[in-house]
Amino acid sequence: MDKAYNHTTESELYKRWENSGAFTPNDSKKAFSIIMPPPNANDPLHVGHAMFIAIEDILVRFHRMKGESVEWLPGTDHAGIETQFVYEKKLAKDNKSRFDFDRETLYKNIWDYVEMNSGVAMTQMKRLGASADWGRYKFTLDPAVVSFVCETFQKLHNDKLVYRAEKLVNYCPHCGTAYSELEVDHEERTDKLYHIDYPLTDGTGVITVATTRPETLFGDVAVAVNPTDKRYTALIGKKVKLPLTNREIEIIADEGVDTAFGTGAVKITPAHDPFDWSVVEKNKEKFDLLETVNKHTVIGINGKMTANAGKDYENLSVFKAREKVVAELDLEKNAKPHIHNVGICYRCKRVIEPLPLPQFFVSVAPLTKPVLEALDKKDVVIHGTGREAILRTWLTNLRDWNVSRQIVWGIRMPVWHNVEGHETEVSVNFIDAKGKQHKGLLRDLYAEGFDLEAIATGLQQIIVPIVSNVPFVVQTEKPSEEGTWIQETDTFDTWFSSGQWPVVTLKTGNAGDFEKFYPTSVMETAYEILPFWVMRMLMLGMYLTGNVPFKDVYLHGLVRDGQGRKMSKSVGNVVNPIDLVEKYGADALRMALVMGSTPGQDKSVGEPTIKGMRNLSNKIWNATRFLKEFSGEQPENAELKTWTLKVVRQTTEHLDKLRVGQASEYLYGEFWHGYCDKWIEEAKKGSVGTSQMEEVLLVFLKLLHPFMPFVTERCYQEIFSQKESDLLITAAWPTV
């Protein structure tokens, strides 16, 4: 044996495991399964991924050694918004944008780009020792997955859980898509609160409204005051003239108006503010909601003012329009600083614009109810301090799920609109055969000589207003019935497909997998994506199968740097897990990550910790070297025997109860201070013989194997392996 342990042999060992078939499930009746959280296919792994790989690999190796039929199903994610975002940045470098391509070409280009970079994540997972079942690997855009996800949408539609509605959505004009409420970050900002006088039409004076968004006044449909506000009761029902326009609007009462905000009088702009939307929605006798919103939308999806804002303002950016209104009405003099929460795009960090857009929604109440019941019955148990309460809060308050995304990189919705007879209402963007973009109403494009086929081929986006009542069907193939059918251009929210991941991976895999491995045993992931992902998997898993998708949820925390700081590019403290593997070995990194970790809590890991764990690799190696040379005849030492049994019992119990952090800490102490410091010294003194020392070393190699698979396998090969196929990875877990 070499004097020091050389971790550069890890890849070789990995190949031996993989070739031995150890990663595929055996035919034991007792199943243990984990569906891997699919990392972004074309992104290198970060240290958080290394954390999930360490924890999940520990669990699957442990259960495999216990003789169970273990399935750890790997996959990667197309990461819709993220990937398209990165790809568009790349396009921008070549002075291009997504609007230069029809959706099919753009999709194909992104596919090629992803394919070129894919495999990165997978190769890196192998470097970390992930003993996953690569033969069952899934990508979220595999054709079988895409069909399954579309069928789920059809099923939801048949069950009347899908509806199309124009609602205010959280729209990022930069990213060009709507987001769900979960994807909007909030930031406290200081903006200006402006005061605008709206003159009463009867000439008796003015009512002053306070607003941070004067540029939206073109979209006002009323001024609202609280009915209990004595300052204004006499004015309710009177009319005012909207400044900069000749339009008259009414002063209405709404108990939701905060009398303490500004002047207590607010402008009502339903197309651009959720509260204002709700006020108009309530006042059915005064307003037809959709018609009102359509007529008074003054900001378009490009983030610019629309024609409804008048020709002086049309096409100005929101910011420019604000400046112009402030100047024209001389609002600066009465402006006051105002601290408020602003919605920010979680991708590009720009301000979210609430905009009315036709979208598909999933009704969530029927989906969340069974999940809450499953939590009550403990059919699913959440491991992670306080996280169950957070999950319950989300489930109880969740609003209907907007699953439409205006991006190309994703699963296109299986929805077909019959636009016949609606040529004056439906508008499209498309690229013609010469690569030129056209946009407008179908009628106008037909008049320019384009036919349906040309439009459908070069299609970028179709906008079908809800008010037009255009009939649609939900199916993957183009309908054969009479009609002028155009497929919806929106794609599904990535979480809509990954929310079905445990079901879809097992149902589209090998025959019998679903029956054998569903519900899966453990879902292990970062607590950060509890509402995005875990909650959706519970909702859709239960909807599709009537059963929870997993029995235990293990939520790991963030990995912070040695000083406890969050890793971020701007601080410059991001570590690349593969660099650490090269320097110290995968074993050392894995052990450092899990050592003493607690579900739901963040963990600081600095380089000294990893170095310390490399020392543990060396310690295991040196103990094995010592025994290779050692010879001593002694009867069995009873104390050593009792102690060994206790270590086996305790470690097994920790792992059975998912106490990975405690198990690692415990084993570290027992091996270092017990086996090495105490018993190797006893052996040197002659109080323990070779065979017992070997027996106990074998026990430790087995117990340590899930944590530090490489060094333990090497040591096993040095002393215990009888033949080529005799591997520690498939050796039996010690019993008491």
DSSP string, 212-271: S-GGGGGG--EEEE-TT-TTTGGGTT-EEEPTTS--EEEEEE-TTS-TTSTTSEEEE-TT
The burial class, CB within 10 Å (0-12 / 13-18 / 19+), for 217 is buried
Residues between 431 and 490 that touch Zn ion (CB under 5 A): none
Q: C-alpha distances in angstroms, 17 versus 33, 132, 133?
A: 19, 11, 11
Minimum separation from the CB atom of position 525 to Zn ion (A) = 24
Q: Where does this chain touch Zn ion (CB under 5 A) — which range of 63-71, 171-179, 322-330, 688-696?
A: 171-179
Output 347 or 417, the one with its CB closest to Zn ion. 347
Q: x/- string (CB under 5 A) for Zn ion, residues 663-702?
A: ----------------------------------------
Neighbour tally for 376: CB within 10 Å: 9
Q: Token pair 């109860």 is at which residue?
A: 657
DSSP string, 341-378: EEEEETTT-PBPEEEEEEEEEE--HHHHHHHHHHHHTT
Output 318 or 729, the one with its CB closest to Zn ion. 318
Candidates 50, 169, 172, 309; binder of Zn ion (CB under 5 A) is: 172
Residues between 128 and 147 that touch Zn ion (CB under 5 A): none
Output 345 or 623, the one with its CB closest to Zn ion. 345
Minimum separation from the CB atom of position 172 to Zn ion (A) = 3
Q: How far is CA 430 from the centre of its chain?
A: 31
SS3 of the chain: helix, strand, coil, percent, to 5: 45, 20, 35
Output 345 or 538, the one with its CB closest to Zn ion. 345
Output 182 or 715, the one with its CB closest to Zn ion. 182
Output 4 or 348, the one with its CB closest to Zn ion. 348
Minimum separation from the CB atom of position 405 to Zn ion (A) = 12
**Does 519 sit behind a cis peptide bond, omega within 30 degrees of 0 on the bond before it?**
yes
Residues between 244 and 283 that touch Zn ion (CB under 5 A): none
Q: Does 116 bind Zn ion (CB under 5 A)?
A: no
558 Cβ contact list (under 8 Å, min separation 6)? 48, 526, 528, 566, 602, 603
Buried b (16+ CB within 10 A) or exposed e, 579-591: ebbeebbbbbbbb
How many residues make contact with Zn ion (CB under 5 A)? 6
Q: Which residue, among 528, 529, 548, has the nearest Cα to 538 in the 3D structure?
A: 548
Output 71 or 490, the one with its CB closest to Zn ion. 490
Q: Where does this chain touch Zn ion (CB under 5 A) — which range of 168-176, 308-316, 379-387, 497-505?
A: 168-176
Give the relative orientation of helices 577-584 and 607-629 as an angle to the nearest 10 degrees. 30
Residues between 519 and 558 that touch Zn ion (CB under 5 A): none
Residue 709 three-state SS: helix
Buried b (16+ CB within 10 A) or exposed e, 52-76: bbbbbbbbbbbbbbbebbbbbbbbb
Minimum separation from the CB atom of position 82 to Zn ion (A) = 11
Q: How many residues does the chain have?
A: 736
Minimum separation from the CB atom of position 271 to Zn ion (A) = 20
Output 347 or 422, the one with its CB closest to Zn ion. 347
Residues between 327 and 356 that touch Zn ion (CB under 5 A): 345, 347-348
Output 42 or 406, the one with its CB closest to Zn ion. 406
Candidates 55, 175, 249, 544; binder of Zn ion (CB under 5 A) is: 175
Q: x/- string (CB under 5 A) for Zn ion, residues 291-330?
A: ----------------------------------------
Candidates 64, 98, 164, 174; binder of Zn ion (CB under 5 A) is: 174
Output 350 or 641, the one with its CB closest to Zn ion. 350
Output 345 or 456, the one with its CB closest to Zn ion. 345
Minimum separation from the CB atom of position 75 to Zn ion (A) = 26
Q: Which two three-digit tokens encode residue 213? A: 């968004």
634 Cβ contact list (under 8 Å, min separation 6)? 686, 687, 688, 689, 692
Minimum separation from the CB atom of position 81 to Zn ion (A) = 8
Minimum separation from the CB atom of position 343 to Zn ion (A) = 11
Backbone angles phi, psi at 274, to 5 degrees: -60, -40
Q: What is the dihedral of CA 270, 274, 276, 282, to 10 degrees?
A: 100
Minimum separation from the CB atom of position 303 to Zn ion (A) = 10
Q: What's 489's DSSP letter?
A: -
Output 174 or 705, the one with its CB closest to Zn ion. 174
Give the relative orientation of helices 387-397 and 365-376 as an angle to the nearest 10 degrees. 150
Minimum separation from the CB atom of position 85 to Zn ion (A) = 8
Minimum separation from the CB atom of position 173 to Zn ion (A) = 8
Q: Where does this chain touch Zn ion (CB under 5 A) — which range of 174-182, 441-449, 458-466, 529-537?
A: 174-182
Minimum separation from the CB atom of position 184 to Zn ion (A) = 10
Query: Are the beta carbons of 679 and 626 closer than 8 angstroms?
Result: no
Minimum separation from the CB atom of position 48 to Zn ion (A) = 22
Site residues, Zn ion (CB under 5 A): 172, 174-175, 345, 347-348
